[in-house]
Amino acid sequence: MTTDLEADRRGSDPARLLSPEAIERRRAVVRDASRSTLRRRRALGTSTRVACYVALVIALVPLVALIAYTVKRGVQGLSVALFTQLPVPQGVPGGGVYNAIIGTLIIVGLAALVAIPVGLAVALFLVDSRGKLAASIRFVADVMSGIPSIAIGVFAYALIVVPSHHYSGITGSFALAVLMLPIIIRADEVAMRAVPEDLWDAALALGARPSRVARSVVVRTSLPGIVTGNLLAVARAVGETAPLLFTALGSTLLETNPFQPMQAMPLTVYSDGTQADPHLQTVAWATALVLLAFVLLLSIVARTLASYVTRHAR
């Protein structure tokens, strides 16, 4: 009787030597194995999706609860006076946080004005360099991203406030700029590394200088990611309280001079929220709601600008 091996050697098809019943049995075995494997894969996929949905719910529950509680407590204190009036002494009804809003805009604006250009320049250096210096800067940026904000506040206090014996808004801007810088560096670097190397090579082949390539090709192409990363860094700095406690100190007056102590919305939330006066606690919750809405607005603006720049970059 001819074996399968001999049939293979002669180039014949071994299936032709099998009876129809044997062929049907083989097909049944393969079909059963495929069905069993398909059931396992479907069961694994279903269990994985369920686990993802459960994890999503677990992550959303505290976030939704926090937002709902802040909105519930903060809506009670929302009024026109909150945005247009200065704080009043404890026990006196009325007043607002106009000085804190202006102080937050000045402090965070100055911090962004310093951190964004420096972070972009460092990110360009990291993208274009491959040496030990670039690796060291990248490592330091990663480490600084995990440093607690209160440590940065103590650093700014020891570096500027102690020698000068003076609190100021500009010192708070310095602390926030240090806090924002590693986030901006890593976000800008990731965005620029997404640019295809073919664009670099094509621009250099046309005779453009490396600085022109970086400005006109790399930055322009990666601008959506850069805008998103920078605005998210600003959004984080807006809500930081610890650095400002050691630097800006706070003020009950409307102060626009950054070289003087200034009030900010996080400081208002901290100072009024820890008081026993119910009115001050209401103001603190309303300020927290305004701060939350401001961060949400920055996130929406970041995504909108990124989408707009992406469409026009093409």
Q: Locate the domains of the chain by residue range.
A: 17-72, 78-313
Instruction: Return the closest-CA partner of residue 192 out of 217, 167, 212, 170.
Output: 217
> Is 12 in a helix, a strand, or coil?
coil
Cα–Cα distance between 156 and 140 in angstroms, integer?
18
Residue bearing the bigger pLDDT, 5 or 162: 162
pLDDT tens track for 11-64: 445 545 667 777 777 787 777 777 778 788 888 888 999 999 999 999 999 999
Label residue 314 by pLDDT band (50, 70, 90).
low
Extract the runs of DSSP E, i.e. beta strands, from 47-143: none
pLDDT tens track for 211-255: 778 777 888 888 888 988 898 899 889 989 999 999 998 988 899
Instruction: Return the closest-CA partner of residue 147 out of 183, 108, 115, 171.
Output: 183
What would be the CATH architecture of the domain defined by 78-313? Orthogonal Bundle (1.10)
Query: Which helix or strand (DSSP H or E) is residue 107 part of?
Result: helix 98-128
Label residue 164 by pLDDT band (50, 70, 90).
very high
Please name the residue that has the structure tokens 């293979």.
8
Q: What angle do CA 248, 251, 252 make, to 5 degrees?
A: 165
**What is the structure's pLDDT at 127?**
85
